[in-house]
């Protein structure tokens, strides 16, 4: 720090930020959280331009595909230019028109060519190994089951199940959209170009939905519910704690006794009961979660208000005739902000965890929309886990990492903002 900058003392928030920046794990966590949040906020753009697959679209022919497999997005597909050589080649019978069957065939050939590294129009074990979609089973096993003619490689017919990017059913639906004269094929004027495949980066689920975009959508729901529930708990806790701490005496004793008693309640069961009974409304979800998480916040706020309210500067504010609200909001809360902020940060992972609990039990958001807990629930079924592990591992890992990052950031904040506190 240069000497000339010393003339003005460093502000507390600047000092806190300087301390926070020293914690490398916390900085990494913060960046991670920002990236996840940005993706979640921009989910509509993500599905339009990055994943290409939307949250709701399902591809019945592409169920349980491993990460890296490819398919044709239904709505946000890209097209190759019509003049492209591949388009001409796709017109198998050279009649100047494209049928669904031809398109399906052409894209399967294209996929085979992509996987076929040595260009012999057949897939050998090494090529299968390199193909991301071979992940469901070892390449040797795949080869053994599919190689009907015993050649040791998979030719186009044998590999068909493996390379069918654009199954005839989907191709038919796709062609129909452009087939204005309804003659079952696309003439040169109707043909928009060959649809380009997109990659299922995280694989697909039991309905052939893209897991990547569902993870991004799940982030949206999980983070939003976590934040809103924390906000609800913050509001209740602030009001309850401030009223108790400010008034003191009997009111304080009674209000804090109520908090003590509420600590002993099986809140989770009441929330489960509420969700089961009144349906899976997302507003009910975060209000209920927030309403069960405010107790500690109330205790912290009360402690802060109690400690601050008799300090000289508050007495002075009172002496010059400041109103109670203005003392509370202008003089007390800014000074109590540190511990409150710290606890609020640590409440976010807690509420997210509760949300994912409920979603895991099938009580969160409604299908086809989803959250990380619901996704983990889909992947944690006994028959699915071992064969299609990505369905559990991706949502489980991203949820764990996010909770980890939130906890690390919260603890780093506590170290710089509230060093005297010693909880956990």
Binding residues for another protein, rule: CB under 8 A, are 25, 257, 260-261, 263-270, 272-274, 276-278, 349, 353, 356-357, 360-361, 373, 376-377, 379-380, 382, 385-386, 389, 392-393, 396, 399-401, 403-404, 406-408, 411, 422-424
Give whichever of 70 and 414 is closer to another protein, judged by the CB atom.
414
Taking the C-alpha atoms of residue 318 and residue 326, their distance in angstroms, rounded to an integer, is: 10
Q: How far apart are the first and last CA of the chain?
A: 34
Give whichever of 100 and 275 is closer to another protein, judged by the CB atom.
275
The nearest distance, CB 234 to another protein, in angstroms, is 20
Give whichever of 1 and 277 is closer to another protein, judged by the CB atom.
277
What kind and span of H or E run contains 46?
A: none
Q: What SS3 class is residue 70?
A: strand
Output the six-digit token pair for 150: 């015993």
CB burial readout 78-109, b (16+ within 10 A) else e? eebeeeeeebeebbeeeeebbbbbbbbbbbbb
Give whichever of 357 and 369 is closer to another protein, judged by the CB atom.
357
Task: Report the candidate in 233, 263, 270 with the shortest Cα–Cα distance to residue 363.
Answer: 270
The nearest distance, CB 402 to another protein, in angstroms, is 8
Give whichever of 232 and 274 is closer to another protein, judged by the CB atom.
274
- For 381-395, the DSSP string reads -HHHHTTSTHHHHHH
Give whichever of 129 and 411 is closer to another protein, judged by the CB atom.
411
Residue 317 burial (CB count, 10 A): 17
Give whichever of 9 and 264 is closer to another protein, judged by the CB atom.
264
The nearest distance, CB 202 to another protein, in angstroms, is 16
The nearest distance, CB 118 to another protein, in angstroms, is 35
Task: Report the candidate in 309, 296, 317 with the shortest Cα–Cα distance to residue 336.
Answer: 309
The nearest distance, CB 25 to another protein, in angstroms, is 7
Q: What SS3 class is residue 43?
A: helix
Taking the C-alpha atoms of residue 359 and residue 370, their distance in angstroms, rounded to an integer, is: 8
The nearest distance, CB 342 to another protein, in angstroms, is 14
The nearest distance, CB 263 to another protein, in angstroms, is 6
CA angle, 311 then 315 then 319, to 5°: 170
């Amino acid at each position: 720090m240069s000497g000339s900058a010393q003339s003005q003392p460093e502000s507390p928030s600047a000092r806190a930020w300087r301390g926070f920046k020293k914690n490398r794990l916390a900085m990494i966590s913060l960046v991670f959280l920002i990236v996840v949040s940005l993706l979640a906020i921009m989910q509509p753009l993500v599905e339009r331009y990055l994943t290409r697959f939307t949250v709701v679209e399902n591809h019945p022919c592409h169920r349980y595909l491993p990460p890296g497999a490819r398919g044709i997005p239904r709505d946000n597909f890209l097209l190759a230019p019509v003049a492209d050589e591949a388009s001409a080649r796709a017109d198998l019978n050279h009649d100047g028109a494209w049928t669904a069957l031809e398109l399906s065939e052409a894209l399967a050939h294209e996929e085979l060519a992509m996987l076929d590294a040595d260009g012999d129009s057949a897939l050998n074990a090494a090529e299968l190994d390199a193909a991301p979609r071979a992940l469901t089973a070892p390449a040797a096993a795949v080869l053994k089951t599919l190689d009907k003619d015993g050649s040791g490689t998979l030719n186009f017919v044998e590999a068909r199940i493996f390379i069918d990017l654009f199954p005839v059913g989907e191709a038919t639906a796709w062609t129909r959209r452009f087939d204005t004269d309804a003659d079952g094929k696309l003439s040169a004027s109707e043909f928009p170009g060959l649809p380009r495949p997109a990659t299922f980066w995280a694989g697909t689920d039991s309905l052939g939905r893209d897991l990547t975009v569902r993870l991004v959508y799940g982030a949206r729901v999980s983070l939003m519910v976590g934040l809103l529930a924390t906000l609800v708990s913050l509001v209740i806790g602030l009001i309850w704690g401030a009223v108790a701490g400010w008034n003191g005496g009997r009111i304080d004793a009674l209000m804090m006794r109520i908090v003590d008693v509420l600590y002993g309640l099986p809140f989770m069961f009441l929330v489960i009961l509420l969700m089961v009974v009144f349906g899976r409304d997302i507003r009910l979800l975060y209000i209920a979660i927030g309403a069960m998480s405010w107790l500690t916040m109330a205790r912290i706020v009360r402690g802060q208000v109690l400690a601050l309210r008799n300090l000289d500067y508050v007495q002075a504010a009172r002496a010059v005739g400041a109103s109670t609200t203005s003392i509370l909001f202008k003089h007390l809360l800014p000074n109590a902000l540190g511990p409150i902020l710290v606890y609020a940060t640590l409440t976010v992972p807690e509420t997210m965890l509760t949300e994912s609990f409920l979603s895991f039990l099938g009580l969160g958001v409604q299908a086809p929309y989803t959250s990380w807990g619901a996704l983990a629930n889909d992947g944690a079924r006994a028959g699915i886990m071992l064969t299609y592990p990505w369905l559990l591992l991706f949502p489980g890992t991203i949820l764990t990492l996010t909770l980890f990052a939130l906890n690390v950031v919260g603890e780093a904040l506590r170290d710089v903002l509230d060093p005297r506190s010693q909880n956990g």
